[in-house]
Amino acid sequence: MGPQYTGGSKLVLPKDYREWTFLTSGLGMSYTPGAKDAANPSFDNVFVNPAAYQAFLKTGTWPDKTVLILEVRGSENHTSITTAGRSQNTVMAVEAHVKDASHGGWAFYAFGTGQEGALLPKTQDCYSCHEQNGAVDTTFAQYYPTLVDVAKAKGTFKGGSH
Amino acid sequence: MGPQYTGGSKLVLPKDYREWTFLTSGLGMSYTPGAKDAANPSFDNVFVNPAAYQAFLKTGTWPDKTVLILEVRGSENHTSITTAGRSQNTVMAVEAHVKDASHGGWAFYAFGTGQEGALLPKTQDCYSCHEQNGAVDTTFAQYYPTLVDVAKAKGTFKGGSH
């Protein structure tokens, strides 16, 4: 099942994305020049629909109807018996990056904490940044540990050793 | 398909555990009293076989043949365009926590970076610590954000608000 829309251009949050294939999690990642590590950073969990993951393993790139979900969760320390480090808590926001030829190709959607994602205008920085810096097909595959070597082997990795 | 063993007591690393259901990721988490945040912390990614996850959603606890995989990955900063925060890199070690009545109930296995997990003796601290502090059935469900509320609703959450 590919991406589902409502009201023309809004993306419906996939109810089961937490059961999709996990790609990575980062903590406090920023791309802003000169950024400092945050005192209270967020985790970024990334999931992809399983069919797209399987296609990537075979081809080194994303098929049409790929849906990448970025789930931003707060972090905390000293939870339960934790004495150091940080664990995850509630969802702060969700975003999606969707490849859908029937909707003009790759597009970003912002859900906040809701169930419907608003299309981000193509003029926003996320588009140009992903275009310039995404290792595979405008996606930040350089941060997806299980896919980096696949993309390099398939010759689809941009800016790496191939 | 439940846990697979070799040589009597060694657990075979499930080849597709990265496609299992993701539970959480922590960074630099320690349970040692007085521990300080590490300068170069590791990420802990936790996965569970999908059938066990579905059973937990219905019952608030783990069925027989549950396999939890803890994947420890190194972290790094300033990767690609990252200016702050930490992203994941290579696997440092893998451990499993398996509920299998045919093998004496819950048991821990350590894989290091190999494909066969050695059974950890029941005298090791991990057993007593999980027994005492695990929120659900000796597992650290208190760190699995999507399962905390499920367990509380089902009355299986130990030490919480129920």
* Residue recorded with tokens 């193509």: A122
Pairing of strands B5-6, B105-112: unpaired
Mutate to test the interface with A, among B42, B75, B82, B158 (most CBs of A within 10 A): B82
Facing residue for B29 by CB, picked from A82, A91, A133: A82
Tell me if B22 and A43 make a contact (CB, 8 A cut-off). Answer: no
What gap in Å lies between CA B68 and CA A79, rounded to an integer? 20
A107 within domain boundaries: yes
Minimal-distance CA residue of chain B relative to A22: B22
B19 within domain boundaries: yes
pLDDT given at position A36: 93
pLDDT given at position A141: 98
A160 within domain boundaries: no
Tell me if A81 and B129 make a contact (CB, 8 A cut-off). Answer: yes
- Specify whether the CB–CB gap between B47 and B16 falls below 8 A: no
B160 within domain boundaries: no
For residue B33, give both structure tokens. 């009293």
CA B62 to mean position of chain CA atoms:
13
What gap in Å lies between CA A52 and CA A63, rounded to an integer? 6
pLDDT given at position B78: 93
pLDDT per residue over B87-110, tens digit each?
999 999 999 999 999 999 999 999
- ipTM of the modeled complex: 0.96
Q: What is the CATH number of the domain that holds B78?
A: 3.50.70.20
A159 within domain boundaries: no
- Give chain B's domain count: 1
Q: Which domain holds residue B127?
A: 5-151
A161 within domain boundaries: no
Per-residue pLDDT of chain A (162 residues), as tens digits, is 799 999 989 999 999 999 999 999 999 999 999 999 999 999 999 999 999 999 999 999 999 999 999 999 999 999 999 999 999 999 999 999 999 999 999 999 999 999 999 999 999 999 999 999 999 999 999 999 999 999 999 999 997 543
B81 within domain boundaries: yes
